[in-house]
Amino acid sequence: MTLEHPTLALRGITKRFGALTANDHIDLEVRAGEIHCLLGENGAGKSTLMNVLYGLYQADEGEIVLDGEVQRFAGPGDAMRAGIGMVHQHFMLIPVFTVAENVLLGHERALGGLGGAREKVREISQRFGFHIDPDARIEDLPVGVQQRVEIIKALSQDAKVLVFDEPTAVLTPQETDELMAIMQQLRDEGTAIVFITHKLREVRAIADRITVIRLGKVVGEASPDSSSTELASMMVGRPVELTVQKQPPVLTDNRLQVSNLTVLDAIGQKVVNDVSFTVQGGEVLCIAGVQGNGQTELTEAILGLQHRATGSIDLNGNELLGDSVREVLDAGVGFVPEDRKVDGLVGEYSIAENLMLDRYRGEPFVRGGTIDRAARDDFAREKLSAFDIRAQSIETPVGTLSGGNQQKVVLARELGRPLALFVASQPTRGLDVGSIEFVHSQIIATRDAGIPVIVVSTELDEVVGLADRIAVMYRGGIVGIVPADTSRDTLGLMMAGERPAGLRTADPVKGAAA
Amino acid sequence: MTAQQTTSAHGTTVETVELERAVVKHWKAPISYAVLTLVALVLLVVLGRDGSATLRLASGGDFFAIPDAVLPARATGVVVVVLLAALTALSFWAVATVRRLGAWLPIVFGVLFVVGFLTWAGAGSMIPIAGLLFATVGLSVPLIFGAMGGVLSERAGVVNIAIEAQLLGGAFTGAVVASATGSTIVGVVAAMLASVLVSMVLAVFAIRYFVEQVIVGVVLNVLVAGLTNFLYSSLLTDNPALNSPARLPKLPIPVLESIPLLGPALFKQSIIVYAMYIIVPLIAWGLFKTTWGLRLRAIGEHPLAADTVGIKVNRLRFWNVALAGAVAGLGGAYFTLDSNGSFTREMTAGLGYIALAAVIFGQWHPVKATAAALLFGFASALQQTLGAIGSPVPSEFMLMLPYVITLLAVAGFIGQSRAPAASGKPYVKQ
Amino acid sequence: MNDQPRDADDPIEPAAPQHASGPPDSGQAPTIVHAPEVTEVQVAAPAAPTDDRQVEVEDPWGSAFRRIMGGNLVMAVLAIITSLIVGGILIAATDERVQETSGYFFARPGDMLAAVWDAVGGAYWALFQGSVLNVSRADAGFAQLIKPLTDTLNFATPLIAAGLGVAIAFRVGLFNIGGRGQMLWAAAAAGWVGFSFTLPPVLHVLVAIAVGIVAGAIWGGIAGAFKAYTGAHEVIVTIMLNFVALWFITWMLRTPGLLQNPGSNNPISPAMPPSAVLPSIFGPPFILHWGFVLSVLAVVFCSWLINRSNLGFQFRAVGYNANAALNAGMDVKRITVLAMVFAGGFMGLAGAQQVTGAVTTGFTSGIDAGIGFDAITVALLGGSTPWGTFFAGLLFGAFKAGGFRMQAAEGVPIDIILVVQSMIVLFIAAPPLVRAMFGLPQPGRKSRRQVRDEAKIAAAAQQKGAQS
């Protein structure tokens, strides 16, 4: 199916942000009828490159060639007219608009008004077997369906080249399979597809060609037959240990017991539905599941951030449900929120101030209502070296640090006081491999100190690597709690809400040794 | 659990299941009704007044004269309170049984409350209803234009606290230009241009320089107040000729002006008011039915998404904010070229803020905002009328009403206010 | 905070802070050892721009505050100069002599230029004499010479207090536009204590002011409670509460038995007894009263509160990132209410100063004298810091003091002060505009050469990182 000339060719694309070179002379060719994977770590420059291609950024050097013609994209409108479509990682849909209105926006004349847009939605839906009501409001649709609207939006413009930017992050394994089927169908119809991801498994499943980029540069092409280890080391630039080193768990008497926990959202949906589990000191319970199945609300309920919660959260005989966040923290709960920039740190505050962010009352940092700067700074200096936080000084605003260093600040703070429970939500999201390894080692060290640890992660690799037991969440409920050596296929099915027959369950007393 | 079945091209089936739901009941509305009913009970019955209120419904020149309605204050009060209590009970029942009642309930409740209040306040006197309505329209016109300016600007994503400045700038320029040129129409156009200028300053600072829009708005209000005061003192006081514009003539529409009750209020007005009758529906239609409106709402809700489909967000925002200024400018012209006849210091007297309140109370919808503006206009008209007949309620409390209603609205006790998602947020392009 | 590339125009955080040299104010020696095998920093560097572009999702208030507070002295001076020039143009344009001479500008341009000079120079000379040193009366003694300076401090007194009321709210991410209402309640409460009770001299005035502060704090706290517990936007709430307060106080002022002066038919209160009046610091002819000292104390207290106290630590944390504050166990709602209580309290001090210092012969509902709105400009010019507010208050106090003389001596309406004041704030808020007007380089927008050099450095650093 491969044609002679590439449909799309990027030649020497360079994009700088101040002193940072996000893309350094990147070459990329995509042919009609092939799926070209762009593989790279978080922050390798994939999204920047695609934003250049889509006209959202202007390249400092290099050219974009489409069907042999050099293009000048002043904005996304030009890129679209030239035949480039994009399925964005964060959907570019207006929540209060209907499906048809979203498809219509920007192409009012070409589509011939709302009626034409409705017709287009129906026509494309039929082609791919989607069941999408053109008059449904986006905010009422599930995430998977919203993504299909994004695809329809791109296809309604007769895209020759379709870019999928990290499209599977929000999907269940089954939805992911479906998306891949759609991508294959598009490929077979002659569309050139760029698939951006950092997930090795998906790359190997679907790619016709693989280009790996690292630190803004192309490091080479890889064969789709490459092993995961080979791809990972290409991506990172050194051999990567894909497993986490840890000893068998030594359980202690510390214990978190969550019973019949139910959390309602503002419109009364049970975002956490009758959840019960126990975590024993010295073990890591990983909560697996696709983003948005209640994990966020579960951890927030433990922290005291959810007010419509019923049931019981018992930490060493101390009922946490109904307590304020302050009381929960004082009970010895360490918490790493899933979005460190939004929930974990005050970007404008210095490292030192962020390290005392949740200890603003009483000793050791406050005396007589006044902050003891000497005590604060001593603590900060100690943590800076202990956690290997790379910064100019303790006065550096946290917002200027890299993601890895920001996460280290959060960890240093949360692990810097006596703990009875440690909860980490998506602790390695968006981090480079070096930082990921550091975070993992800290989590295991905390577990080995006899503290109950809960890790929420949507990355199956991380779950399998860290967990002593795995709880899988789906639609607010726990599908099952299984041993760490449960097969990925089984976990995948559970993430879609199924309980395979003969499922082994794991309880804390036996631990992961089961 | 409800489940939709979505079948993909390859025959596999994905369940898109909605989460289990518990029933959440919102008691704010019935509680608000209960409070108002209680107020009515205290006012109309406990503090009830004797005598009858005469509601004069006729005015000269009607097709036929509607006879006066003579309502005994205390008896009417009792009936009204009973009805209000019944509606409140109905509201409680509806929430308890998770039923939805239509929009008729707040409207009926409101009308009953007003009738009860009028008979109580007007006990022993005569209230000219037609005159009240005429005053309502007159007082509402600048509010409505201002509110339309607010709706357009905020729907496009730029918070418009500067309505006051737009009205004041328009009023001043309209007066001076109309006086200097001798043409009221030129004056109206100049008022619109002045208002557009204020809008453009707001737009440039908000869009180009990412200055916090509330700050720009508040500062613009102070700036325009200072500027018009300065020019008034230094130019107009010495040259009264520059501040005596001809007024726009009232153009009664034949036949329609003779409709009882509403005719004079609606159809014995100047060209600006008739323009309003066209502009409000035009904006409502344009916002929700045209490409312009689709794009306008898109850049106010999710500018990045609009950008990714090739819409020039900041340019579009700029011109729509300018347009908002033009509309608000008509309201400014109304002050000096219709209702008053000359410019006086700070003559808008905070009406821009009431227009802003109407935008919020009207949920950023042109028609609802107009209704809110009319309600606020009615409150001021009522205050004037009651002042004339010697009201039992201090006029200050009537003057407070729009602000109190808006406070309750933004606090969620009356209706749900949801601003355009990106309103107030500058769109920063790389 | 985000680690995305910053807006090129952003004056506060130039691009690539990772490569910046140490902050100039850090007194200690660097404590971080940069190990040679460091990969983290270099790996992180290119990581910055690739994140999803959620720039518009970022809290706009936060960035506005950063911009406001980062405004440096040079910008402030340039903004003031620009605004005075615009003010001068207005003065010249409305001057009769200038208008006459402009008729024959091309015949005798000197006439018009002289007229412009007379008008503008005269006005600003009067402004100076009215606010700093009265040179024309230097022969009447030192007291007459410096009296304008004390008048400036006198006018600055409530501006500073009210400015703090806006500034502290800003730091918590709140716009306190409710100064008018808070001042009115404070004035009413302080005034009521003043003319209704008989107390020993010093105690009386202090009690009156304390009660005024409490009244302002309560009215501010109500706005805070609306914001915290219903989610209503504080801008709308404070604006609406201003009018509610205005009409309520107006009603009380015209109702016998409440605030109305017995025997009067006008909405005006009784005069304050001497025991409830803030005495003059230096005695006649100076009118500067002890309220100024209270304002200075308020600045000192506010400075400690914001910068040193643990409450201020929570205030700022909530202002920058309420989500992170919530996750750190701070009670964001309580902090919001408290912040508005303090903001209202400072406004209350200003209101109480008005009735016990400025207008002691009985007050009307105009007692706030627009100070509630002036305060916004004061706080913005002062970068929302306590001492910045202090100096901005002095400047605007000088404008007011001089403005009256300008009006009396030169016939320039005092409203010009309002124009200049609001223009200053607009310019302060948009440094790129001021820089463009004065042809200054825009920070962050580097020369090509700079960009190239830095790119080389970054590339070298990357290479090093890749090798290790």
Task: Give the three-class secondary structure for B386.
Answer: helix
pLDDT band at B203 (very low <50, low <70, confident <90, very high): very high
Strands B268-269 and B126-128: unpaired
Q: Are residues A322 and A222 in the same domain?
A: no
C133-176: pLDDT as tens digits: 888 887 888 888 889 999 999 999 999 999 999 999 999 999 99
Residues C184 and C365 sit within 8 Å (Cβ to Cβ): yes
Q: What is the pLDDT of residue A354?
A: 95
**Residue among C7, C175, C415 whose CB faces B230 most closely:** C415
Report which listed range, A474-488, B236-250, C180-194, is most confident.
C180-194
Distance CA C228, CA C223 (A): 9
Average pLDDT over residues B186-190: 95
**Residue among B205, B211, B430 whose CB faces C53 most closely:** B430
Question: By mean pLDDT, which of A36-45, A113-122, C23-32, C353-362 is the weakest?
Answer: C23-32
Determine whether the interchain pair A43/C19 forms a contact, defined as Cβ–Cβ distance below 8 Å. no
Q: What is the pLDDT of residue C157?
A: 97
List chain B residues with CB under 8 Å of C231. 412
Q: Which domain range does residue A415 map to?
A: 255-513
Q: Is C442 on the interface with A (CB under 8 A)?
A: no
Q: Are residues A207 and A264 in the same domain?
A: no
**Residue among B201, B218, B426 whose CB faces C376 most closely:** B218
pLDDT band at B273 (very low <50, low <70, confident <90, very high): very high
A:B CB pairs within 8 Å? 120
Q: What is the pLDDT of residue A509?
A: 52
Q: Are residues A281 and A231 in the same domain?
A: no
List chain C residues with CB under 8 Å of A16. 451, 455
Q: Are residues A309 and A163 in the same domain?
A: no
**Distance, CA of B332 to chain centre:** 15
From chain B residues 304-323, the ones with a CB under 8 A of any chain A CB are: 304-312
Distance CA A328, CA A320 (A): 6
Q: What is the pLDDT of residue C265?
A: 86
Q: Chains touching chain C at 3 or more Cβ pairs under 8 angstroms? A: A, B
Q: Are residues A259 and A224 in the same domain?
A: no
What are the phi and psi torsion angles at B67 (to 5°)? -65, 155
Determine whether the interchain pair B353/C250 forms a contact, defined as Cβ–Cβ distance below 8 Å. no
Q: What is the pLDDT of residue B429?
A: 66
Query: Quick one: closest CA in C to B214, which residue?
Result: C235
Residues C412 and C123 sit within 8 Å (Cβ to Cβ): yes
What's the token pair of residue A290? 């696709």
Query: Quick one: closest CA in C to B220, which residue?
Result: C422
Planar angle of CA A37, A41, A45, nearest 5 degrees: 75
Distance CA C168, CA C164 (A): 6
Distance CA C41, CA C19 (A): 10
Average pLDDT over residues A353-368: 90
Residues B399 and B415 sit within 8 Å (Cβ to Cβ): no
Query: Quick one: closest CA in C to A405, which residue?
Result: C40
CATH number of the C73-429 domain: 1.10.3470
**Residue among B14, B19, B305 whose CB faces A178 most closely:** B14
Question: By mean pLDDT, which of A347-361, B19-33, B155-169 is the weakest?
Answer: B19-33
Q: Is B218 on the interface with C (CB under 8 A)?
A: yes
Residue at A364 is within a domain:
yes
pLDDT at residue A168 above 60?
yes
Q: What is the pLDDT of residue A57?
A: 87
Distance CA C253, CA B310 (A): 59
pLDDT at residue C29 above 80?
no
A189-216: pLDDT as tens digits: 889 999 998 788 888 889 999 999 988 8
Q: What is the pLDDT of residue C294?
A: 97
Q: What is the pLDDT of residue A166?
A: 85
CATH value at residue A21? 3.40.50.300
pLDDT at residue C13 above 60?
no
Determine whether the interchain pair A337/C34 forms a contact, defined as Cβ–Cβ distance below 8 Å. no
C267-311: pLDDT as tens digits: 999 999 999 999 999 888 888 999 999 999 999 999 999 999 999
Q: How many domains, chain A? A: 2
From chain C residues 74-93, the ones with a CB under 8 A of any chain A CB are: none
Determine whether the interchain pair A305/C308 forms a contact, defined as Cβ–Cβ distance below 8 Å. no
Q: What is the pTM of this model?
A: 0.85
Distance CA A47, CA C179 (A): 47
Residue at A245 is within a domain:
no
Determine whether the interchain pair B426/C380 forms a contact, defined as Cβ–Cβ distance below 8 Å. no
Average pLDDT over residues A52-72: 89
Q: Is C202 on the interface with A (CB under 8 A)?
A: no
Determine whether the interchain pair C240/B407 forms a contact, defined as Cβ–Cβ distance below 8 Å. yes
B364, amino acid identity: W
Q: Is A269 on the interface with B (CB under 8 A)?
A: yes
Q: What is the pLDDT of residue B123?
A: 84
Strands B126-128 and B52-56: parallel
pLDDT band at B11 (very low <50, low <70, confident <90, very high): very low
Residues B335 and C218 sit within 8 Å (Cβ to Cβ): no
Q: What is the 3-state secondary structure (H, E, C) of C165-226?
A: HHHHHHHCCCCCCCHHHHHHHHHHHHHHHHHHCCCCHHHHHHHHHHHHHHHHHHHHHHHHHH
Average pLDDT over residues C436-444: 74
Q: Across all residues in chain A, what is the average pLDDT?
A: 88
pLDDT at residue C10 above 70?
no
Q: Across all residues in chain B, what is the average pLDDT?
A: 87
Q: Are residues A371 and A484 in the same domain?
A: yes
Determine whether the interchain pair A43/C14 forms a contact, defined as Cβ–Cβ distance below 8 Å. no
Question: By mean pLDDT, which of B223-237, C54-68, C248-262 is the weakest?
Answer: C54-68
The helices-and-strands tally (H runs, E runs) of chain B is 15, 7
Residue at A37 is within a domain:
yes
Residue at A502 is within a domain:
yes
Q: What is the pLDDT of residue A170?
A: 73
What's the token pair of residue B195? 């208002």
Determine whether the interchain pair C56/B426 forms a contact, defined as Cβ–Cβ distance below 8 Å. yes
User: What is the distance in angstroms between the Cα of C46 and the nearest Cα belonging to chain B?
Assistant: 16
Q: Is B15 on the interface with A (CB under 8 A)?
A: yes
List chain C residues with CB under 8 Å of A393. 22-23, 26, 28, 30-32
Q: Are residues A27 and A171 in the same domain?
A: yes
Q: Is B155 on the interface with A (CB under 8 A)?
A: no
Query: Quick one: closest CA in C to B427, which residue?
Result: C56
- Reported ipTM: 0.85
Residue at A242 is within a domain:
no
List chain C residues with CB under 8 Å of A341. 1-3
Residues C311 and C187 sit within 8 Å (Cβ to Cβ): no
Q: Are residues A222 and A263 in the same domain?
A: no
pLDDT at residue B266 above 70?
yes
Domains of chain C, residue spans:
73-429
Q: Are residues A213 and A294 in the same domain?
A: no
Q: Are residues A230 and A264 in the same domain?
A: no
Residue at A300 is within a domain:
yes
The residues of chain B that CATH labels 1.10.3470 are: 138-399
B93-152: pLDDT as tens digits: 988 888 777 778 888 998 999 889 888 888 888 888 888 898 999 999 999 999 999 999
pLDDT band at C76 (very low <50, low <70, confident <90, very high): confident
User: What is the distance in angstroms between the Cα of B13 and the nearest Cα belonging to chain A?
Assistant: 9
Q: Are residues A416 and A291 in the same domain?
A: yes
Distance CA B204, CA B223 (A): 16
**Selected residue with higher pLDDT from B67 and B19:** B67
User: What is the distance in angstroms between the Cα of A94 and the nearest Cα belonging to chain B?
Assistant: 6
Q: Are residues A365 and A267 in the same domain?
A: yes
Strand arrangement of the beta sheet that strand A20-30 belongs to? A20-30, A8-17, A61-66, A69-71
Distance CA A25, CA A408 (A): 32
Query: Quick one: closest CA in B to A94, which residue?
Result: B302
What's the token pair of residue C381? 């010019």
List chain C residues with CB under 8 Å of B222. 373, 376-377, 418, 421-422
**Residue among C31, C308, C466 whose CB faces A384 most closely:** C31
Determine whether the interchain pair B210/C412 forms a contact, defined as Cβ–Cβ distance below 8 Å. no
List chain B residues with CB under 8 Å of C241. 403, 407
Question: By mean pLDDT, which of A41-55, A181-195, B325-339, C2-16 is the weakest?
Answer: C2-16
Q: Is B421 on the interface with A (CB under 8 A)?
A: yes
The label of the residue with tokens 């700050």 reads B215
What's the token pair of residue B386? 């009651």
Determine whether the interchain pair C241/B407 forms a contact, defined as Cβ–Cβ distance below 8 Å. yes
CATH architecture of B138-399: Orthogonal Bundle (1.10)
